Structure 1
Amino acid sequence: MKIRISLFLAAALLAVGSCTKRPVRPDLGTTAIDTLISNNGLACKVEYRFATIRNAAASPALEAIEQTNIGYFFLLEGFSGTPEEAAQASLREIAAEYLQDIPEQSHTYEYSIDSEISVTDTLLTCVINRWSYLGGAHGMYGTECHTYSLADGYEYELADLFSEEEQQNLAAAIHAKLCEEYEAADDEALSEAGFFPEYIAATENFILTPEGMTFHFNPYEIGCYALGSIEVSLTNEEIGQLRK
């Protein structure tokens, strides 16, 4: 009898296989910063809620995950330092990029980010949520998902879990799920519903769960802003069918 291994378990086994010692469990906390920055008559209200690993120094894997999450959260490339130091660098970038032009009338922008970390078995998942209003017709929001191995700090990508052919099958399954949910018979009907069918594919923005896998699509990625953020979930059984 063939034994089916769930996607979640497969990733966990990969993580365990990379290190024989039991991974250090993270001690989670929150770095919270609320401030108002201003320049040239413009102001921006900033709220940060960064899910930090307080014992990151306890293992190279946790340190790698913490530094990677800091870079993602504060949008800083090649940064090395504490969340507080990253926050100050981020605030300086916001002031330099968005608060330079002198407006006819003063205006207050808003920029809010929070993150949440969850741990299941040997995998750590970090979800980052952003919301901002930095001018224009409306605010923008989005979600970023990152899954790591607690054994070595490695961040999983689709290529670690699926072959190129299987990724094409994933795209077809996501397309079929959207057609079913929005009662669309074909791409033309999806387009009428506000989707961009040619951009529907498996995204790197995913979460692994014991039940399967969830893909997150932010506004404008596969559809118009009015559709909002879109989630498509596939069960382990459905993913198993794609591997045949």
Structure 2
Amino acid sequence: MRKFCFAVIILLQLAAVGCKRAPDAAAPSSLVFVQKKFDKSVPGCGDKQKREEPCVTFRVSWVEATSAASDQARTRINAAILASLQPMEAPRGFADEAAGVAEDYQKFHSEFPESEITYFVRRTADILLSNASMLSVEVTEEEFKGGAHPNARRTYLNMNPSTGQDLALTDLLRNGALPKLTEVAEKRFRWEREVPEGKKLSESGFTFPDDKFALSKTWGVSPRGLLFHYNAYEIAPYASGPTTVMLPWNEIRDLIKKEAGLVPAGS
């Protein structure tokens, strides 16, 4: 009898393992964030009585993890966020970079005192999605330091919240799902940019390699679905602007691994 009971217990344990549920997309993350900000302007900027000429401003806002699954994960996440907010060629630290921008502005203004050009740098890093399986951070940049127009750019950080390690797109997809995901994204892209099916993308001004649609390497994860962003100049002239393609979960749920824990119940 005791042997029979033991066998039943083992079978129940095996059944429990076999029926292990996939991660819940609504499960909360162990991460806790605070908002940080750096703001530096030329003295008197914004006050016409103190400073009549144009100004230079340097503003950065970002999220910083104060709690995570481990100190190592928290350190990795914060380091990745800060690194994404500064160009590789810039001096390390916002204060030193802002001082360099102000110096360049002062030199320009001394050479062209009648110019009304204003220098500015604006960067943000905000949470797009944070749950037990994924941390996706959207990084936006906009700056003007002379030239024909301001420069704007968007990137994403996609990390495992438990480790702080980067996640690749293929980490989220079922085996062999990438071609189908690309097909779905192309349909959305054509709809977004009003390019009829069958018409060459190059005929509408887009410069994909070999005139074949390709997923942008700039991607993020939102509560609504996967985002693919094409920055200005990436596949079209500046005048065409950037393009963002959203792939809703209900259209791609069968392409996403259940263990990725991303697709909300009911999608």
TM-score (ref. length: structure 1): 0.71
Structure 2: gaps of 5 or more residues: 1-18, 44-53, 257-267
CA distance in 2, matches of 1:112, 1:149: 27
1:50 lines up with 2:50 in the alignment: no
CA separation of 1:57/1:23 partners in 2, compared to 1, >3 Å: closer, same or farther?
A: closer
**Residue 28 (structure 2) pairs with residue 25 (structure 1):** no
Is residue 128–residue 145 contact of structure 1 (8 Å, CA) maintained in 2? yes
Cα distance change on mapping 1:149 and 1:112 into 2, 3 Å? same
> d(CA) in 2 for partners of 1:114 and 1:31?
9
Deviations 1:206-232 (A, max 9, x none): 122354311111111122222322111
Query: Does residue 71 of structure 1 match 2:83?
Result: yes
Closer/same/farther in 2, CA of residues 152 and 88 from structure 1, 3 Å limit: same
TM-fit CA distance, 1:143: 1.3
Match of 1:121 in 2: 132
Among 214, 221, 228, the alignment partner of 2:227 is 214
Identify the range of structure 1 (221-230 vs 178-187) with the bigger mean alpha-carbon deviation.
Answer: 178-187
Rg: which structure is higher? Answer: 2
Distance 1:171 1:192 in 2: 20
* RMSD of Structure 2 on Structure 1 (CA): 3.9
* Greater strand proportion: 1
4+ aligned runs moved over 6 Å, structure 1 = 96-102
Equivalents in 1 of 2:182, 2:218: separation in Å?
Answer: 13
Superposed, 1:160-239 pairs within 5 Å as 160-162=171-173, 166-181=177-192, 182-188=194-200, 190-197=201-208, 198=211, 200-239=213-252
Residue 238 to residue 137, structure 1, CA distance change in 2 (3 Å): same
Residue 27 of structure 1: SS of its match in structure 2?
A: strand
Q: Is the 8 A contact 2:68 2:162 kept in 1?
A: no
Change over 3 Å in CA distance of 1:135–1:63 after alignment to 2: same
Amino acid at match of 2:146: G
CA contact (8 A) 1:44 1:108 kept: yes
Match of 1:34 in 2: 40
Alignment partner of 2:42: what SS?
strand
Q: Which TM-score applies when normalising by structure 2? A: 0.66
Fraction of identical pairs, as percent? 21
